[in-house]
Amino acid sequence: MSLSVWYDLSLFLLLFALFVYVFVTVTITDMRKVYLLFHFLMMLWPLCQFATGVTRDGHLQLLYVTLSFVALSMLGSGWLLLTAFLTGNASKLGRKRLLLLSIPAVVAAVGVVMNPFSLFVKPLEGGYIHREYGPWFWVVIVILLCYFFASLSFLFRAFHSCRTILTIKKQVKITLWGIFVLATFALTDLLLNVVLREWLPIVPGLTSAGIFISGLFFVYVIKRYNVLDIVSIAHEDVINTIPYGIMVVDENESIIEVNKALRLFVDVNVGDYFDMEKFLGSVRIVGSSRRFLDHYKYKHNILSQIEIIVEQDTLSHFILQASPIVDSYRMQIGRILMFQDISQERYLVKELNRQNEILRERNHSLDSIRNELSIANQKLKEMALTDSLTNCYNRHYLTEQLTQQIKADIQERTPFSLILFDVDFFKAINDRFGHVIGDEVLYRTAQTVKQALRSTDILIRYGGEEFIIYFPDTDHRLAEQLAEQVRLLVETTHILVGHEKEPVSVTLSVGGLSVENFDIDHIPDNLEGYVMGLLSEADKALYQAKSNGRNRIEFAEYQK
């Protein structure tokens, strides 16, 4: 048995070790599945070469040769798919395109398996250790070359595109080296051991070596740049939930990322060149921009900010912050620009200054002006206690105001009830219609719930799609009736949102708790903790409502 056989086995074991390493150390994503499939196909080649060399059974030799070339055929399509993921083009590959891309590989593999009239391979010297390739072998080679050039096209376009960020370009560069190494070894194997085999001695293991070395390149890219990291993959969804405008530029000032909030007041696109000095020249600056521009131009690794005024339909005030993005060597590779809208704050400051001026100029109107300031402060207090999306009270109100109301009810032995509800399958609404429509559904749902409440009832947005209703002077029986009115009204209300033709209908899962029996000598010292305990019991009832099929009401038993 030749040493080349054990050489192929060694490369297979090394590739298998790399496979296990990636499997254990990387979070599961769609791209990880693609890479593991790609890596698995790479492992089959040296394994089948080893198996072919150790058996003397001609049928088994043909089986292993066939399996190795089937894996090689499928490796071409896997190669192309992996480069699409690495360059960020995977989103452009729908099911139809994936099917079209896999057809040549499948056709090549089918021809290899069928081997009609020995058009693919036929044995020499009574076995397939030495074999002669037919016309179909060259069809497979041509198909693999087509996949190779298509992969190169993806990689070169990504490398030379101004829209590609620096990190992606670096991993593309290393990937190109891996592909060239594999292609060089495979073509050398083809030239020496197939085309010139009658004139030159056989040099075994070239393709196996190329596969192993390219595998090392791919694993290096994956671990060095966190290509399969689910946090990196999900970053776009995260920044789109931030209410501030965010722009990410690379070291060449090319825009590589913007979030949805930014597009509301700055008309830029990914791939555009962002000239900071030109931009500041198009807006009004509060104060001097010299220090900010010095830090920006000379790439000082410090956070700097400046206030700007954008004149559109109305004047809008923004705090523009520039934060450096640095690599592990503290070298700046880009910046994050954040636009924080402070128009409301500036308006309030301006209004306060106007009021102060009136105070100085019209001392005889002091009482009237004090009243106006009191009203303005009350509005600010209400804003602090009100959820901006739904116009309901917020969690701050829960801790600041509602706890005092509950304390008074306990002292007066007045029964009260709390219900906790959320919108069923709200994530599905966001996934289907988007977060803007999801916010609209939350707002309309809150307004519908308000219609079913009494004037003394209090609606609080607890967080996300969860709400709390406080029913004062309400025992368990009445609380169940009121909760059912709320649930039924929401269920029967159809919400027209955005440009959607079909109305959106939602249901609620409700958990409730009624407090009717009191111990006047035992008033909780920690009122906030006491209220949180009540909400925890109501939350358990809410969980029970979800477990029992949603769109229903469950009440918890109150424990003193």
Assess whether 439 and 544 both reside in one domain. Answer: yes
Rounded to the nearest integer, the mean pLDDT of the chain is: 81
Residue 195 pLDDT grade (very low, low, confident, very high; cuts 50, 70, 90): confident
Assess whether 361 and 405 both reside in one domain. Answer: no
- With a cut of 90, say whether residue 512 has pLDDT above it: yes
Q: What is the structure's pLDDT at 91?
A: 60
- With a cut of 80, say whether residue 330 has pLDDT above it: no
What CATH number corresponds to the domain at position 513?
A: 3.30.70.270
Domain finish residue from 203, 233, 263:
233
Assess whether 18 and 156 both reside in one domain. Answer: yes
Residue 165 pLDDT grade (very low, low, confident, very high; cuts 50, 70, 90): low
Assess whether 368 and 413 both reside in one domain. Answer: no
Assess whether 9 and 108 both reside in one domain. Answer: yes
Give the residue, 235 or 329, on which the prediction is more confident.
Answer: 329
Assess whether 121 and 208 both reside in one domain. Answer: yes
Which residue reads 């994956």 in tokens? 222
Nearest residue to 111 via CA among 150, 75, 73: 73
Question: What is the DSSP code (8-state) at residue 26?
Answer: S
Q: What is the structure's pLDDT at 472?
A: 92
Domain finish residue from 233, 248, 275:
233
Of 20-34, 77-91, 111-125, 207-221, which gets the smallest average pLDDT? 20-34
Assess whether 396 and 508 both reside in one domain. Answer: yes
Assess whether 222 and 250 both reside in one domain. Answer: no
How far apart (Å, rounded) are the C-alpha atoms in residues 113 and 108?
9
Give the residue, 103 or 367, on which the prediction is more confident.
Answer: 103
- With a cut of 70, say whether residue 431 has pLDDT above it: yes
Domain finish residue from 188, 210, 233:
233
Assess whether 131 and 26 both reside in one domain. Answer: yes
CA 196 from centre of chain: 52
Nearest residue to 249 via CA among 278, 272, 227: 272
Q: What is the structure's pLDDT at 422?
A: 93
Give the residue, 18 or 319, on which the prediction is more confident.
Answer: 319
- With a cut of 80, say whether residue 292 has pLDDT above it: yes
Nearest residue to 204 via CA among 2, 16, 14, 44: 2
Assess whether 402 and 288 both reside in one domain. Answer: no
Residue 421 pLDDT grade (very low, low, confident, very high; cuts 50, 70, 90): very high
Q: What is the mean pLDDT of residues 276-302?
A: 82
* Residue 92: burial class (beta carbons within 10 Å; 0-12, 13-18, 19+): exposed
How far apart (Å, rounded) are the C-alpha atoms in residues 261 and 246?
7
Of 57-71, 124-138, 167-181, which gets the smallest average pLDDT? 167-181
Assess whether 259 and 190 both reside in one domain. Answer: no
Indicate which residues carry an active-site annotation: 465
Q: What is the structure's pLDDT at 560?
A: 61
Q: What is the structure's pLDDT at 448?
A: 92
What CATH number corresponds to the domain at position 175?
A: 1.20.1070.10
User: pLDDT tens, 5-59?
Assistant: 677 778 788 878 877 877 777 655 555 666 777 778 888 878 888 888 888 888 8
- With a cut of 50, say whether residue 230 has pLDDT above it: no
User: pLDDT tens, 452-478?
Assistant: 999 999 999 988 899 999 999 999 999
How far apart (Å, rounded) are the C-alpha atoms in residues 192 and 204?
10
How far apart (Å, rounded) are the C-alpha atoms in residues 162 and 164?
6
Q: What is the structure's pLDDT at 226?
A: 59
User: pLDDT tens, 530-540?
Assistant: 888 888 999 99
Q: What is the structure's pLDDT at 385?
A: 81
Whole-number Cα distances in Å, 386 to 153, 381, 441, 453: 54, 9, 18, 18
Nearest residue to 404 via CA among 470, 498, 496: 470
Assess whether 407 and 315 both reside in one domain. Answer: no
24: phi then psi, degrees, rounded to nearest 5? -80, -35
Number of domains comprising the chain: 4
- With a cut of 60, say whether residue 233 has pLDDT above it: no
Residue 89 pLDDT grade (very low, low, confident, very high; cuts 50, 70, 90): low
Q: What is the mean pLDDT of residues 215-238?
A: 61
Q: What is the structure's pLDDT at 488?
A: 94
Q: Is the dihedral of CA 221, 227, 228, 231 positive or negative?
A: positive
Q: Identify which of 239-248, 274-283, 446-455 has the greatest average pLDDT.
A: 446-455
- With a cut of 80, say whether residue 275 has pLDDT above it: yes
- With a cut of 60, say whether residue 217 has pLDDT above it: yes
3-state SS string over 415-470?
Answer: CEEEEEEEECCHHHHHHHHCHHHHHHHHHHHHHHHHHCCCCCCEEEEEECCEEEEE
Q: Are 152 and 179 in contact (CB under 8 A)?
A: yes
- Structural domain harbouring 456: 386-556
How is the beta sheet containing 416-423 ordered, strand by strand?
A: 458-463, 466-472, 416-423, 508-515, 553-556
Give the residue, 34 or 176, on which the prediction is more confident.
Answer: 176
Q: What is the structure's pLDDT at 26?
A: 62
Q: What is the structure's pLDDT at 483?
A: 93
Q: What is the structure's pLDDT at 261?
A: 78
Q: What is the structure's pLDDT at 480?
A: 93
Q: What is the structure's pLDDT at 280?
A: 86
